[in-house]
Amino acid sequence: MSELLRAEGITKKYGSFTALDNVSMSAEEGEFVCLLGPSGCGKTTLLRIIAGLENATEGKIYIGGEDATKLHPSKRNFGIVFQSYALFPNLKVWQNIDFGLKCKKVPKAEREERIAEVLDLVNITDHKDKYPSQLSGGQQQRVAIARALALSPKFLLLDEPLSALDAKVRQKVRVELKNLQNKLGITTIMVTHDQEEALTMADKIVVMNNACIKQIGTPNEVYDHPDSPFVADFIGSINMFTTNYNEDNDDPNRFKIKAIRPENIEVLPNTAPEGVKVKVINIEFHGATYRLTLRLREDSAVTLMDNDITVDVPTSVFTEYDIKQGGHIKVKFNDSRMIYYNTDKEQPVLV
């Protein structure tokens, strides 16, 4: 794949406030990239700078290898879907799609052909004569995507496109959107604060916090090998442990923080000769698994950054061990899946 988009050294300041601080990232042809991070981290600002809707204080934007930093948004050849969809309430579905084509002075016959194509592509042909108020949230989202695709853009920008949908519809539309992107092979950059969306949809995730990029990698890379305690804690659930690290100790194998995912802690019966004894504080049923909140005994050799640990246990094991709230079990940590950090400058945050 060849590079289609690149943001290089992007800084954006509003007076004394820095929204983006020397940010660089890229997107390959046909790649689905998610800008992921908590609210206020700068991800939407970066998307708007890529689109040309905001000007960077410093840095450059390249499209197809050409410097597009000062290029007007209308010349960048992209489609965009906003969080609110931004549909015209007084226009029917087909008229909403036709609006941009008219502005581009596309001939009528070609406009009609493109409208029919994108309506079929997003499976909304039967609703072409309805107004936005007559559509569900998922249908409105499809119309917004169809309108963006009708202009045959080089790349697609999505700003929290699923956040207005309820959980069940969001999951369905998420699959539809990813399948559509795969079918078209269109380079897509999507802003989201939802880690599940990023993990399930992205080819590459750009994790952001406090105006900076903290890690770029595939979903597997950022989940299994997070670069910092922040990334580890933001993407998925994780348990953090402190160690007896000594500041004067030069041994590179000594660490300040160890971390492990809930699914990488083995649950053992209370009678097992090995493992660390814990008390079951809370139980959540997740279908195929139970998530247990466990509290270590005060005399435990393990020191937690939080008071409790979370563990995911298969339903069959939960039943076999007759686990009950208030009862005791034992846990065993999978050392091969432990993550180590030799700095705690960026403490994990809960969001």
CATH of residue 265's domain is 2.40.50.140
Task: Tell me how far apart the alpha carbons of residues 33 and 189 are, in angstroms, rounded to a whole number.
Answer: 5
Confidence band for 346, pLDDT divided at 50, 70 and 90: low
Task: Tell me how far apart the alpha carbons of residues 102 and 80 are, in angstroms, rounded to a whole number.
Answer: 17
Cβ-contact 189, 5 below 8 angstroms: yes
Shared-domain flag, residues 114 and 255: no
Q: Which domain holds residue 333?
A: 238-341
Q: What percent of the chain has pLDDT over 90?
A: 69
Supply the pTM of this predicted model: 0.88
- Which residues are paired to 61 by β-bridges? 7
Domain boundary among 232, 262, 295: 232
- The per-residue pLDDT for 88 is 92
Shared-domain flag, residues 206 and 281: no
Domain boundary among 232, 259, 286: 232
The model's pLDDT over 282-292, given as tens digits with 9 standing for 90+, comes to 999 999 999 99
Report the domain count for the chain.
2
The answer to whether residue 346 sits within a structural domain is: no
Residue 161 carries which DSSP code? Answer: T
Residue whose structure tokens are 């402190």: 242
- Say which CATH number the domain at 175 has: 3.40.50.300
Closest by CA position to 97, among listed 68, 120, 63: 120
Give the chain's mean pLDDT.
Answer: 89
- The per-residue pLDDT for 59 is 97
Mean predicted confidence (pLDDT) in 196-214:
96
Which amino acid would we find at residue 27?
Answer: A
Mean predicted confidence (pLDDT) in 244-268:
72
The answer to whether residue 348 sits within a structural domain is: no
Tokens for 105, please give them: 């002075």
Shared-domain flag, residues 30 and 146: yes
Shared-domain flag, residues 158 and 294: no
- The per-residue pLDDT for 258 is 85
Tokens for 250, please give them: 């030069």
Alpha-carbon dihedral 81, 83, 88, 90, rounded to 10 degrees: 140
- The per-residue pLDDT for 349 is 40
Shared-domain flag, residues 259 and 178: no
Instruction: Look at residue 350 and tell me whether its pLDDT is greater than 80.
Output: no
Shared-domain flag, residues 215 and 69: yes
Task: Tell me how far apart the alpha carbons of residues 231 and 234 are, in angstroms, rounded to a whole number.
Answer: 5
Q: Which of 118-127, 160-169, 203-212 has the highest mean pLDDT?
A: 203-212
Domain boundary among 232, 266, 288: 232
- The per-residue pLDDT for 296 is 82
Residues in contact with 249: Cβ distance below 8 Å, sequence separation at least 6, in sequence order: none
CA dist list (Å): 150 to 64, 95, 108, 154, 249: 21, 12, 13, 11, 62
Which amino acid would we find at residue 44?
Answer: T
- The per-residue pLDDT for 172 is 85
Shared-domain flag, residues 165 and 131: yes
Shared-domain flag, residues 172 and 300: no
Task: Tell me how far apart the alpha carbons of residues 200 and 10 are, in angstroms, rounded to a whole number.
Answer: 27
Tokens for 320, please give them: 């076999």
Shared-domain flag, residues 263 and 212: no
The answer to whether residue 181 sits within a structural domain is: yes
The answer to whether residue 53 sits within a structural domain is: yes
Shared-domain flag, residues 36 and 143: yes
Cβ-contact 235, 221 below 8 angstroms: no
Task: Tell me how far apart the alpha carbons of residues 341 and 232 are, in angstroms, rounded to a whole number.
Answer: 10
Phi, psi of 199 (to 5 degrees): -65, -35
Shared-domain flag, residues 213 and 251: no
Q: What percent of the chain has pLDDT over 70?
A: 90
Task: Tell me how far apart the alpha carbons of residues 203 and 218 are, in angstroms, rounded to a whole number.
Answer: 6
The answer to whether residue 351 sits within a structural domain is: no
Instruction: Look at residue 121 and tell me whether its pLDDT is greater than 80.
Output: yes
Shared-domain flag, residues 222 and 267: no
The model's pLDDT over 212-238, given as tens digits with 9 standing for 90+, comes to 999 999 999 999 999 999 999 999 899
